[in-house]
Amino acid sequence: MLLTSLLRALPATLLLFGTNAIPVDDHEKRQSSIDAYIKSQADVSIKGVLANIGADGSKAQGVPAGIVIASPSRSNPDYYYTWTRDAALTYKALVERFISGDTSLRQKLDDYVSAQAYLQGVSNPSGSPDSGGLGEPKFNVDRTAFTGAWGRPQRDGPPLRATALIIYANWLIANGGQTQAANTVWPVIAKDLAYTVRYWNQTGFDLWEEVNGSSFFTLSASHRALVEGAALATKLSKTCDGCAAAAPQVLCFIQSFWTGSYIDSNINVNDGRTGKDVNSIISSIHTFDPAAKCTDATFQPCSSRALSNHKAVTDSFRSVYGINRGIAQGRAVAIGRYSEDVYFNGNPWYLATLAAAEQLYSAAYQWDRQGSIVVDAVSLPFFRDLLPSIATGTYAKGSSIYTSILSSVRTYADGYVAVVQKYTPSNGGLAEQFDKNNGSPLSAVDLTWSYAAFLTAAERRAGVVSPTWGEPSNNVPPTSCSGTPACNARITFNVRASTSFGENVFVVGQLAQLGNWNPTGAKPLSASKYTSSDPLWFAAIDLPASTAFEYKYIRKSSSGQVTWESDPNRRYTSSAGCGSSANVNDTWK
């Protein structure tokens, strides 16, 4: 074919073909530089992670054992808290490192189990341990509840924590620790899985804590946790009620995020964004299964969908950051959360840029294992950025084209690491962000997640992978989605509110059923029992049972003007039990 002829005609001094050709000498210099940087930065990164974990971390003095601080930064921004999500992703990296031979981490893992068991029992603004409290995103470092205003609940924490602990539990079972796995680790996992089964089909805040809707990241994490959780339960002769039934339904729902060329990371919400968000790339690397093929349904790193999405997301940052200008297609750039970001004026993140590299390293691993690379209409634009003359087809391992594709993808991945290298200070400290115009570190210093992201990217580059989570036998979604049967409670809201002619009263709150705080989605109350002596407005609304939430009443005039109740928000926990009922009695304030 034409491409083969072109390859044979290339000068020996070129490693790649097309407009992005790199001379061999330059490639070898870059390779040597990246190798040396990764070796030194990996050492800095593991030390950075451990410094932020109590009780003996140098930057977490006085913090209880097993508690991960997000960052030592206590102002502008204050990240001196422990986030369930960040801690779980960090400990997932540590469990993988432990399994790969770093036995010094064993006590840290056991400390994490104990710390999370404690936190699961702390009542908080998201609810009690049995009424949604596991969806609370962050806690004070002393393990007490954080009670300030926040984007809650965040439903990714429980499945992410379950995954980290399931990997550890499986190692324990394989190494004589079945009793510990069953009696100490499983109880923590079981609570997280029960939460996931119950709440996966309800909206919540995304991993950036800004959008209240359905999150691709949360659903992807939930599917993985339910699959591997059901398998672990069987192995331990335990029960995981609803796990096996819910997992395929979650997978079915995940398909609705695919637009045809990229993943719309947040749906069921009007956020004014394109949906091109690095959370989808982080999802792909979290659900990476080394035993999987390039499955589109689970968005495996080497799948056509994930590669097309990689291009769409990374391209969205090419024109919005000054430090990316002039960099050609198919060459690595600095990556942020999403192009519309305004937090700290919107900048690249170290962990986002590393995620772009990690997906490609993981894809290379999968191609090498399955022995071929498939280029189809969906993935063709991604590959053409790297190899402009590539055509659709299946390229077998050992062929010249396969070798060129794999080399160019790995070089592309190294480019993202090189971007991080370029904007990392000489001491190796990884903050949260780096300036979009000059590359200087910004926001929280020594971000634990940044360090953990470097460790996992470096391991994937070296071919070090996590154990399979069972994707090969759990990657076919049902032909139709049925969701999970709703477990609702009927709550009757009663509020005494004197109104003028033309005014109506509504209830609005943080639940989807209450409009997610959007007045246009607020639920109307009836004035059919209203009298001058008893100005009663009421409505019976079906809400998720045993769920803590915040709400307020609003007045709307005939002209559409909205008047809110005074602060603070009201709080309520719906009654327990499917089909239960309760009354709320309030007076306008």
Which residues form the catalytic set?
206, 209
- Residue (of 255, 258, 355, 338) closest to 301 by Cα position: 355
Residues 442, 439: Cα–Cα separation, whole Å: 9
**CA distances, 461 to each of 49, 265, 421, 456 (Å):** 20, 26, 15, 9
Residue 502: φ, ψ to 5°: 95, -10
Q: What's the token pair of residue 364?
A: 């290379």
Look at phi and psi of residue 268 and say left if phi exceeds 0, alpha if psi is from -120 to 50, else beta: left
User: Residue 233: how many CB atoms within 10 A of its CB?
Assistant: 20
Burial class (CB in 10 A: 0-12, 13-18, 19+), 270: exposed
In this structure, which amino acid lies at residue 588?
W
User: Residue 464: how many CB atoms within 10 A of its CB?
Assistant: 17
Residue 272: φ, ψ to 5°: 70, 15
- Residue (of 469, 363, 371, 369) closest to 410 by Cα position: 363
Residue 159: φ, ψ to 5°: -65, -35
| Strand, helix or coil for residue 74 | strand
- Residue (of 402, 438, 439, 407) closest to 420 by Cα position: 439
Residues 187, 169: Cα–Cα separation, whole Å: 11
Residues 279, 294: Cα–Cα separation, whole Å: 19
Binding residues for substrate: 150
Question: Which residues sit opposite 114 in a β-bridge?
Answer: none
User: Residue 231: how many CB atoms within 10 A of its CB?
Assistant: 19
Strands 488-496, 581-587: pairing kind: parallel
For the sheet with 266-267, list strands across it: 204-205, 212-215, 266-267
Residue 584: φ, ψ to 5°: -115, 130
- Residue (of 370, 365, 463) closest to 406 by Cα position: 365
Residues 108, 146: Cα–Cα separation, whole Å: 24
Contact 371/391 with Cβ under 8 angstroms?
Answer: no
